[in-house]
Structure 1
Amino acid sequence: MISSKEESKFDKFFNHRDALIMKFKIGDISKREYIMENVEFIEKLNVKPFKNIDSFEKGMYNYQYYNMLAKYYYMEAKHLKDKGEPVKYYQSFLDEGYYYYGEKDKSTLKFLKFLKFKNMEAYYINVNSDSLQGKLYEINLKEFDKAIFHSKSFKILDILKKEKVFQNDSRKSIIDEYVNVKY
Protein backbone atom coordinates (compact mmCIF):
# COMPACT_ATOMS: atom_id res chain seq x y z
CA MET A 1 0.00 0.00 0.00
CA ILE A 2 1.37 3.39 -1.00
CA SER A 3 0.80 6.24 1.45
CA SER A 4 -0.32 9.65 0.16
CA LYS A 5 3.09 11.07 1.12
CA GLU A 6 4.81 8.40 -1.00
CA GLU A 7 2.27 9.03 -3.77
CA SER A 8 3.13 12.72 -3.94
CA LYS A 9 6.84 11.85 -4.09
CA PHE A 10 6.11 9.39 -6.88
CA ASP A 11 4.13 12.08 -8.71
CA LYS A 12 7.12 14.43 -8.43
CA PHE A 13 9.47 11.66 -9.52
CA PHE A 14 7.45 10.64 -12.59
CA ASN A 15 6.69 14.23 -13.61
CA HIS A 16 10.36 15.16 -13.34
CA ARG A 17 11.40 12.02 -15.24
CA ASP A 18 8.92 12.75 -18.04
CA ALA A 19 10.10 16.38 -18.27
CA LEU A 20 13.76 15.33 -18.51
CA ILE A 21 12.96 12.72 -21.16
CA MET A 22 11.20 15.39 -23.21
CA LYS A 23 14.08 17.87 -22.77
CA PHE A 24 16.52 15.21 -23.94
CA LYS A 25 14.37 14.19 -26.93
CA ILE A 26 14.08 17.74 -28.22
CA GLY A 27 17.78 18.40 -27.69
CA ASP A 28 17.58 20.89 -24.83
CA ILE A 29 19.91 18.77 -22.70
CA SER A 30 22.69 16.30 -23.45
CA LYS A 31 22.82 12.75 -22.14
CA ARG A 32 25.37 13.87 -19.55
CA GLU A 33 23.03 16.67 -18.39
CA TYR A 34 20.12 14.22 -18.33
CA ILE A 35 22.06 11.93 -16.00
CA MET A 36 23.30 14.79 -13.80
CA GLU A 37 19.81 16.31 -13.43
CA ASN A 38 18.36 12.90 -12.59
CA VAL A 39 20.96 12.26 -9.90
CA GLU A 40 20.50 15.74 -8.40
CA PHE A 41 16.73 15.25 -8.31
CA ILE A 42 16.97 11.79 -6.74
CA GLU A 43 19.26 13.17 -4.05
CA LYS A 44 16.89 16.10 -3.40
CA LEU A 45 13.85 13.81 -3.31
CA ASN A 46 15.59 11.88 -0.53
CA VAL A 47 13.75 8.59 -1.08
CA LYS A 48 15.93 5.52 -0.71
CA PRO A 49 15.25 2.43 -2.85
CA PHE A 50 12.50 0.15 -1.62
CA LYS A 51 13.36 -3.24 -0.15
CA ASN A 52 10.01 -4.70 -1.18
CA ILE A 53 8.66 -4.07 -4.62
CA ASP A 54 4.90 -4.34 -4.41
CA SER A 55 3.89 -1.70 -6.96
CA PHE A 56 4.82 -0.51 -10.41
CA GLU A 57 5.92 2.84 -8.97
CA LYS A 58 8.37 1.28 -6.54
CA GLY A 59 9.86 -0.93 -9.25
CA MET A 60 10.33 1.97 -11.63
CA TYR A 61 11.75 4.18 -8.91
CA ASN A 62 14.31 1.56 -7.87
CA TYR A 63 15.39 0.98 -11.46
CA GLN A 64 15.82 4.69 -12.13
CA TYR A 65 17.59 5.27 -8.80
CA TYR A 66 20.20 2.56 -9.31
CA ASN A 67 20.55 3.09 -13.06
CA MET A 68 21.21 6.82 -12.78
CA LEU A 69 23.73 6.41 -9.96
CA ALA A 70 25.52 3.65 -11.90
CA LYS A 71 25.69 5.80 -15.02
CA TYR A 72 26.82 8.83 -13.00
CA TYR A 73 29.74 7.00 -11.37
CA TYR A 74 30.72 5.33 -14.63
CA MET A 75 30.56 8.68 -16.44
CA GLU A 76 32.71 10.36 -13.78
CA ALA A 77 35.25 7.52 -13.88
CA LYS A 78 35.58 7.94 -17.64
CA HIS A 79 35.98 11.71 -17.21
CA LEU A 80 38.78 11.23 -14.65
CA LYS A 81 40.51 8.67 -16.85
CA ASP A 82 40.30 10.98 -19.88
CA LYS A 83 41.88 13.78 -17.79
CA GLY A 84 44.82 11.48 -17.05
CA GLU A 85 44.09 11.12 -13.34
CA PRO A 86 45.77 8.24 -11.47
CA VAL A 87 44.10 4.84 -11.82
CA LYS A 88 43.14 4.73 -8.13
CA TYR A 89 40.98 7.87 -8.57
CA TYR A 90 38.89 6.69 -11.46
CA GLN A 91 38.88 3.06 -10.30
CA SER A 92 36.98 4.02 -7.14
CA PHE A 93 34.29 5.64 -9.31
CA LEU A 94 34.18 2.58 -11.56
CA ASP A 95 33.75 0.34 -8.53
CA GLU A 96 30.80 2.47 -7.34
CA GLY A 97 29.27 2.31 -10.81
CA TYR A 98 29.57 -1.48 -10.92
CA TYR A 99 28.04 -1.72 -7.45
CA TYR A 100 24.99 0.30 -8.53
CA TYR A 101 24.65 -1.69 -11.76
CA GLY A 102 24.57 -4.84 -9.61
CA GLU A 103 21.91 -3.34 -7.35
CA LYS A 104 19.93 -2.27 -10.41
CA ASP A 105 19.94 -5.84 -11.72
CA LYS A 106 18.82 -7.27 -8.36
CA SER A 107 16.03 -4.74 -8.17
CA THR A 108 15.03 -5.32 -11.81
CA LEU A 109 14.69 -9.04 -11.18
CA LYS A 110 12.49 -8.40 -8.13
CA PHE A 111 10.33 -6.09 -10.23
CA LEU A 112 9.99 -8.59 -13.09
CA LYS A 113 9.00 -11.29 -10.59
CA PHE A 114 6.43 -8.92 -9.07
CA LEU A 115 5.01 -8.43 -12.58
CA LYS A 116 5.07 -12.23 -13.05
CA PHE A 117 6.86 -11.76 -16.38
CA LYS A 118 3.55 -10.79 -18.01
CA ASN A 119 3.07 -8.28 -20.85
CA MET A 120 6.77 -7.84 -21.51
CA GLU A 121 9.26 -8.73 -24.17
CA ALA A 122 13.03 -8.79 -24.16
CA TYR A 123 15.64 -8.91 -26.92
CA TYR A 124 19.20 -7.87 -27.68
CA ILE A 125 19.57 -4.34 -28.97
CA ASN A 126 21.77 -2.91 -31.69
CA VAL A 127 24.39 -0.70 -30.11
CA ASN A 128 27.29 1.35 -31.43
CA SER A 129 29.59 -0.06 -28.74
CA ASP A 130 31.49 -3.20 -29.79
CA SER A 131 31.88 -4.21 -26.14
CA LEU A 132 28.08 -4.14 -25.58
CA GLN A 133 26.95 -5.66 -28.90
CA GLY A 134 25.37 -9.06 -28.28
CA LYS A 135 25.41 -8.46 -24.51
CA LEU A 136 23.03 -5.58 -23.83
CA TYR A 137 19.36 -6.40 -23.98
CA GLU A 138 16.16 -4.45 -23.56
CA ILE A 139 13.11 -5.36 -21.52
CA ASN A 140 9.98 -3.59 -22.69
CA LEU A 141 7.04 -3.55 -20.26
CA LYS A 142 4.48 -3.29 -23.03
CA GLU A 143 1.50 -2.03 -21.04
CA PHE A 144 3.39 0.85 -19.42
CA ASP A 145 4.56 4.00 -21.16
CA LYS A 146 8.32 4.67 -20.92
CA ALA A 147 8.99 1.45 -18.99
CA ILE A 148 12.08 0.17 -20.77
CA PHE A 149 14.93 -1.50 -18.94
CA HIS A 150 18.40 -2.54 -20.06
CA SER A 151 20.76 -5.12 -18.65
CA LYS A 152 23.71 -7.38 -19.37
CA SER A 153 22.92 -9.74 -16.48
CA PHE A 154 23.22 -13.41 -17.46
CA LYS A 155 21.03 -14.38 -14.52
CA ILE A 156 18.14 -12.14 -15.64
CA LEU A 157 18.69 -13.26 -19.25
CA ASP A 158 18.42 -16.94 -18.29
CA ILE A 159 15.23 -16.30 -16.33
CA LEU A 160 13.72 -14.27 -19.19
CA LYS A 161 14.46 -17.19 -21.53
CA LYS A 162 12.97 -19.69 -19.08
CA GLU A 163 9.84 -17.53 -18.78
CA LYS A 164 9.65 -17.37 -22.61
CA VAL A 165 9.92 -13.57 -22.60
CA PHE A 166 13.26 -13.29 -24.40
CA GLN A 167 13.29 -13.22 -28.21
CA ASN A 168 16.68 -14.32 -29.48
CA ASP A 169 17.09 -11.55 -32.04
CA SER A 170 18.62 -8.11 -32.18
CA ARG A 171 16.55 -4.97 -32.68
CA LYS A 172 16.82 -1.24 -32.62
CA SER A 173 16.18 -0.02 -29.08
CA ILE A 174 12.89 1.73 -28.43
CA ILE A 175 15.03 4.52 -26.97
CA ASP A 176 17.86 4.24 -29.49
CA GLU A 177 18.38 8.03 -29.51
CA TYR A 178 19.36 7.73 -25.82
CA VAL A 179 21.12 4.37 -25.75
CA ASN A 180 23.50 5.09 -28.62
CA VAL A 181 24.60 8.54 -27.49
CA LYS A 182 27.86 8.81 -25.57
CA TYR A 183 28.13 10.94 -22.45
Structure 2
Amino acid sequence: MMNEKEKLKLFETFRKESIDLLEESKVNKETFLTNNLTFLDKLNLKPFTTINTLNEALYNYHYYNLSAKKSNLEAQKVIHNAKKKKIYVKCINQRENFYHLKDMATLRLLEILEYKNIDSYYIILKSNRLKGEIFEIHIKNMDKAILHSKSKLILENLKTHGVFIEEERQSLIDSYVNKTY
Protein backbone atom coordinates (compact mmCIF):
# COMPACT_ATOMS: atom_id res chain seq x y z
CA MET A 1 0.00 0.00 0.00
CA MET A 2 1.36 3.40 -1.02
CA ASN A 3 1.81 6.21 1.46
CA GLU A 4 0.73 9.81 0.84
CA LYS A 5 4.12 10.87 -0.51
CA GLU A 6 4.23 7.99 -3.01
CA LYS A 7 0.69 8.75 -4.16
CA LEU A 8 1.59 12.40 -4.67
CA LYS A 9 4.61 11.38 -6.78
CA LEU A 10 2.39 9.06 -8.85
CA PHE A 11 -0.04 11.94 -9.35
CA GLU A 12 2.77 14.22 -10.60
CA THR A 13 3.78 11.64 -13.21
CA PHE A 14 0.19 10.96 -14.29
CA ARG A 15 -0.65 14.67 -14.52
CA LYS A 16 2.26 15.38 -16.86
CA GLU A 17 1.60 12.29 -18.99
CA SER A 18 -2.12 13.05 -19.33
CA ILE A 19 -1.38 16.67 -20.30
CA ASP A 20 1.08 15.36 -22.92
CA LEU A 21 -1.65 13.13 -24.38
CA LEU A 22 -4.00 16.09 -24.58
CA GLU A 23 -1.36 18.35 -26.16
CA GLU A 24 -0.52 15.68 -28.74
CA SER A 25 -4.27 15.32 -29.57
CA LYS A 26 -4.18 11.66 -28.53
CA VAL A 27 -7.18 12.32 -26.27
CA ASN A 28 -9.90 14.95 -26.40
CA LYS A 29 -10.96 17.20 -23.51
CA GLU A 30 -13.80 14.92 -22.41
CA THR A 31 -11.54 11.84 -22.36
CA PHE A 32 -8.86 13.83 -20.56
CA LEU A 33 -11.34 14.78 -17.83
CA THR A 34 -12.74 11.25 -17.56
CA ASN A 35 -9.27 9.70 -17.35
CA ASN A 36 -8.20 12.20 -14.70
CA LEU A 37 -11.32 11.64 -12.59
CA THR A 38 -10.84 7.86 -12.82
CA PHE A 39 -7.20 8.20 -11.84
CA LEU A 40 -7.99 10.38 -8.82
CA ASP A 41 -10.67 7.94 -7.72
CA LYS A 42 -8.25 4.99 -7.92
CA LEU A 43 -5.43 6.98 -6.32
CA ASN A 44 -7.62 7.50 -3.25
CA LEU A 45 -5.68 10.53 -2.05
CA LYS A 46 -7.80 13.10 -0.29
CA PRO A 47 -7.00 16.79 -0.71
CA PHE A 48 -4.50 18.17 1.75
CA THR A 49 -6.03 20.13 4.63
CA THR A 50 -2.71 21.88 5.24
CA ILE A 51 -0.70 22.62 2.12
CA ASN A 52 3.05 22.69 2.74
CA THR A 53 4.51 22.13 -0.72
CA LEU A 54 3.97 23.22 -4.31
CA ASN A 55 3.03 19.68 -5.29
CA GLU A 56 0.39 19.48 -2.56
CA ALA A 57 -1.06 22.80 -3.75
CA LEU A 58 -1.05 21.63 -7.35
CA TYR A 59 -2.73 18.37 -6.31
CA ASN A 60 -5.48 20.25 -4.47
CA TYR A 61 -5.93 22.61 -7.44
CA HIS A 62 -6.27 19.65 -9.81
CA TYR A 63 -8.53 17.67 -7.46
CA TYR A 64 -10.97 20.52 -6.87
CA ASN A 65 -10.92 21.71 -10.49
CA LEU A 66 -11.85 18.23 -11.71
CA SER A 67 -14.49 17.88 -9.00
CA ALA A 68 -16.04 21.19 -10.08
CA LYS A 69 -16.10 20.12 -13.72
CA LYS A 70 -17.69 16.80 -12.74
CA SER A 71 -20.41 18.60 -10.74
CA ASN A 72 -21.02 20.92 -13.69
CA LEU A 73 -21.40 17.97 -16.09
CA GLU A 74 -23.88 16.35 -13.71
CA ALA A 75 -25.85 19.61 -13.52
CA GLN A 76 -25.97 19.88 -17.31
CA LYS A 77 -27.54 16.41 -17.54
CA VAL A 78 -30.59 17.56 -15.56
CA ILE A 79 -30.78 21.26 -16.41
CA HIS A 80 -33.94 20.89 -18.54
CA ASN A 81 -35.71 18.42 -16.25
CA ALA A 82 -38.10 20.37 -14.01
CA LYS A 83 -38.48 17.32 -11.72
CA LYS A 84 -34.75 17.38 -10.99
CA LYS A 85 -34.42 21.07 -10.12
CA LYS A 86 -33.12 20.24 -6.61
CA ILE A 87 -30.43 17.98 -8.06
CA TYR A 88 -29.42 20.72 -10.49
CA VAL A 89 -29.16 23.34 -7.72
CA LYS A 90 -27.17 20.91 -5.54
CA CYS A 91 -24.70 20.22 -8.37
CA ILE A 92 -24.25 23.93 -9.12
CA ASN A 93 -23.66 24.68 -5.44
CA GLN A 94 -21.11 21.86 -5.26
CA ARG A 95 -19.40 23.21 -8.38
CA GLU A 96 -19.06 26.67 -6.87
CA ASN A 97 -17.74 25.24 -3.59
CA PHE A 98 -15.14 23.17 -5.46
CA TYR A 99 -14.04 26.21 -7.47
CA HIS A 100 -13.67 28.15 -4.21
CA LEU A 101 -11.49 25.38 -2.75
CA LYS A 102 -9.46 25.33 -5.98
CA ASP A 103 -8.88 29.06 -5.57
CA MET A 104 -7.73 28.53 -1.97
CA ALA A 105 -5.17 26.03 -3.27
CA THR A 106 -4.08 28.57 -5.89
CA LEU A 107 -3.60 31.24 -3.22
CA ARG A 108 -1.51 28.88 -1.14
CA LEU A 109 0.59 27.95 -4.18
CA LEU A 110 1.22 31.64 -4.89
CA GLU A 111 2.21 32.21 -1.25
CA ILE A 112 4.68 29.31 -1.34
CA LEU A 113 6.15 30.74 -4.56
CA GLU A 114 6.21 34.22 -3.01
CA TYR A 115 4.68 35.44 -6.30
CA LYS A 116 7.95 34.81 -8.15
CA ASN A 117 8.42 33.27 -11.62
CA ILE A 118 4.80 33.96 -12.52
CA ASP A 119 3.08 35.45 -15.55
CA SER A 120 -0.61 36.24 -15.24
CA TYR A 121 -3.09 37.89 -17.60
CA TYR A 122 -6.67 37.68 -18.86
CA ILE A 123 -7.12 35.10 -21.59
CA ILE A 124 -8.92 35.39 -24.91
CA LEU A 125 -12.04 33.27 -24.75
CA LYS A 126 -14.72 32.28 -27.24
CA SER A 127 -17.28 32.52 -24.44
CA ASN A 128 -18.67 36.05 -24.20
CA ARG A 129 -20.06 35.23 -20.75
CA LEU A 130 -16.57 34.62 -19.32
CA LYS A 131 -14.67 37.22 -21.34
CA GLY A 132 -12.66 39.52 -19.07
CA GLU A 133 -13.26 37.27 -16.07
CA ILE A 134 -10.92 34.31 -16.42
CA PHE A 135 -7.22 34.85 -16.11
CA GLU A 136 -4.28 32.54 -16.48
CA ILE A 137 -1.43 32.02 -14.06
CA HIS A 138 1.66 30.49 -15.61
CA ILE A 139 4.18 29.15 -13.13
CA LYS A 140 7.28 29.50 -15.28
CA ASN A 141 9.62 27.26 -13.29
CA MET A 142 7.21 24.31 -12.98
CA ASP A 143 6.55 21.89 -15.79
CA LYS A 144 3.02 22.19 -17.20
CA ALA A 145 1.79 24.45 -14.39
CA ILE A 146 -0.89 26.64 -15.95
CA LEU A 147 -3.76 27.62 -13.67
CA HIS A 148 -6.98 29.53 -14.26
CA SER A 149 -9.26 31.51 -12.01
CA LYS A 150 -11.79 34.28 -11.89
CA SER A 151 -11.27 35.01 -8.19
CA LYS A 152 -11.16 38.73 -7.44
CA LEU A 153 -8.98 38.04 -4.37
CA ILE A 154 -6.37 36.17 -6.40
CA LEU A 155 -6.47 38.87 -9.08
CA GLU A 156 -5.89 41.62 -6.51
CA ASN A 157 -3.00 39.68 -4.96
CA LEU A 158 -1.39 39.19 -8.38
CA LYS A 159 -1.74 42.92 -9.09
CA THR A 160 -0.41 43.89 -5.66
CA HIS A 161 2.68 41.75 -6.24
CA GLY A 162 3.19 43.23 -9.71
CA VAL A 163 2.81 39.98 -11.63
CA PHE A 164 -0.46 40.66 -13.46
CA ILE A 165 -0.20 42.00 -17.00
CA GLU A 166 -3.13 44.24 -17.96
CA GLU A 167 -3.60 42.77 -21.41
CA GLU A 168 -5.58 39.93 -22.89
CA ARG A 169 -3.46 37.08 -24.25
CA GLN A 170 -4.05 33.75 -25.88
CA SER A 171 -3.96 31.00 -23.27
CA LEU A 172 -0.92 28.77 -23.31
CA ILE A 173 -3.47 25.94 -23.47
CA ASP A 174 -5.93 27.70 -25.76
CA SER A 175 -7.23 24.57 -27.47
CA TYR A 176 -8.18 23.21 -24.04
CA VAL A 177 -9.80 26.30 -22.49
CA ASN A 178 -11.76 27.17 -25.62
CA LYS A 179 -13.05 23.65 -26.25
CA THR A 180 -16.47 22.80 -24.88
CA TYR A 181 -17.28 19.33 -23.59
Query: Shorter-chain-normalised TM-score: which range?
Result: over 0.9
Deviation of residue 9 (structure 1)? 1.1
Q: Secondary structure at the match of 1:127?
A: coil
Contact 2:69 2:95 in 1 (8 A): yes
Give the stretch that moved more between structures: 106-115 or 12-21: 12-21
Structure 2 distance, partners of 1:60, 1:29, is 22
User: Which residue of the partner structure matches residue 126 of structure 1?
Assistant: 124
> What corresponds to 1:30 in structure 2?
28
SS in structure 1 of the partner of residue 119 of structure 2: strand
Cα deviation digits, residues 44-73 of structure 1 (max 9, x gap): 111111122221211111110111101111
2:68–2:99 contact (8 Å) kept in structure 1: yes
- Of the candidates 142, 145, 158, which is equivalent to residue 144 of structure 1? 142
**What letter is aligned with 1:108?**
T
Gaps of 5+ in 1: none
Map Cα deviations across residues 77-96 of structure 1 (whole Å, 9 max, x no partner): 12322567632222211111
Which structure 2 residues correspond to residues 74-85 of structure 1 after superposition, within 5 A?
Answer: 74-81=72-79
TM (normalized to structure 2)?
0.92
Paired amino acid for 2:179: V
Change (3 A) 1:173 1:85: farther
Aligned residues: 180
Distance 1:136 1:156 in 2: 11
What amino acid maps onto 2:120 in structure 1? A
TM-score (norm 1): 0.91
Specify the code of the residue in structure 2 equivalent to 1:50: F
C-alpha distance in structure 2 between counterparts of 1:67 and 1:83, whole Å: 26
Moved over 6 A (4+): none
> Contact (CA 8 Å) 1:80, 1:90: kept in 2 or not?
yes
SS of the equivalent of 2:138 reads strand
- CA separation of 1:20 and 1:108: change in aligned 2, threshold 3 A: same
Amino acid in the other structure paired with 1:99: N
1:73 matched to which residue of 2?
71
2-structure distance, mates of 1:120, 1:149: 11
CA RMSD of aligned residues (A): 1.7
Q: Could you say if the C-alpha distance between residues 129 and 164 of structure 1 is closer, same or farther in structure 2, counting changes exceeding 3 Å?
A: same
The SS at the match of 2:79 is: helix
Q: How much identity, in percent, do the aligned residues show?
A: 37
